[in-house]
Amino acid sequence: MLIVYSPFAFEVDECGVSSRRIGVEPHKRPVSHTVTEMNMRTRSAIFYEAQQPISVEDVELDGPKAGEVLVRVVATGACHSDYHAVDGHIKSATVPMVMGHEAAGVVEEVGQGVTAFGPGDHVVFAIRPMCGKCKYCSSNRWNLCNGIVKEPGLMVDGTSRFKKLDGSTLYHNLATFSKHTVVPEWNLVKVQNDIPIEKLASIGCAVVTGVGAVVNTAQVKEGSTVAVWGCGGVGLNVIQGAAIAGASKIIAIDVADSKFPFAKKFGATHTIDALKNDPVEAVHELTGGGADYTFEVIGKPPTLRQAYDSTCPGGTACMVGVPPTGGEVSIPMGPLFLDRKLIGSSAGTGSPRVDFPWFIELYRQGRLKLDELQSRERPLDEINEAFEDMLSGEVARTIVRP
């Protein structure tokens, strides 16, 4: 019998005496096991309310239950999607919450019934689940999976795995702003361990959301013109996705000119400072009548309208940025009548088990910039400073190392 304790497994004889520690070698698979109800102490970044700093605290973490996996988080990206709750762009009703979603790590323990992962496996987190049973998974639209019925911020069984030291509940989704986290197995993609796992931290959000919006959602054609509003971590991946797709002109638009050197490194051929120029007029001038594809990666109605107005007849405007709670945009019907399209892209319309290995292969070939995306590293206790890095425009992505 194999008894699994967090974070290691021990082999026991018939008398229940442990003989040696096992289960930490890469890819070792337990033949049979039971999971204890014991918990462990870890350190996590907790969001309490908008307009307040995130608090980094010691917390209690329950071990994985059936169908769940305990992961040691090696690297996690400071993404604007989390910061949208901090600055009030979106309203979060599930507080206090352990934050974080873009990450890679190493499996330390698996719950009952988990056979696809074992201790030592390298994994990348997928921001959307992949139940494999709902109508979206069944039609290869994994990014829209709704097969998991649960309360927001809780696991499938309606409970949380995180607690404060006083025993009160902490809500969480992937909770990667933590030294350890427990997630459903369908939120993980196993990857080969020949690349340092920290290099792959941004694949599950910034890369799949940005590159995926180009190749999966909008399906940008070779030789077409592209304009991108917002040159943060996701916007840079839209830009490099357009370069991978073979776009002839890639126009980067932002209000922070400090971001333009990054944009050019990732494939932008032109830049527009929206504080100094009308981006709609500038895009029309650069493209001779409007871009074939435009991408709004900020999540604001005015910039989405600009992106739509910058398309040519037959062009496509794609919303990638997270919209504000209750946000709306108004568009004229005349241009829409000329075969223009306004579409949305959720998680890059990605299929993580297919797309992640592809991204890794592109990285091996030198065609996908992951090293360049990771501008700075910080420890977990500096999570607020990591977000300040993001807002300053001086980094492509700050990677937090719990």
The catalytic residues are 79, 81, 84, 101, 205
- What residues contact residue 121 under an 8 Å CB cut-off, 6+ apart? 26, 27, 106, 107, 190, 193
Asked if 161 and 184 count as a contact pair (C-beta separation under 8 A), the reply is no
**DSSP state letter for 200:** G
Task: Give the Å distances, CA to CA, from 289 to 228, 284, 285, 286, 347.
Answer: 16, 5, 7, 8, 30
The stretches of 246-291 forming alpha helices (DSSP H) are: 260-265, 279-287
**DSSP state letter for 120:** T
Query: Residue 254 corresponds to which amino acid?
Result: D
Phi and psi based region of residue 173 (left: phi greater than 0; alpha: psi -120 to 50; beta: remaining):
alpha
Q: How many CA atoms lie within 13 A of 185 on its CB side?
A: 19
Question: Which residues, listed in sequence order, are joined to residue 105 by a DSSP beta bridge?
Answer: 73, 123
Query: CA 187 to CA 198: how far, in whole Å?
Result: 18
Backbone angles phi, psi at 185, to 5 degrees: -60, -25
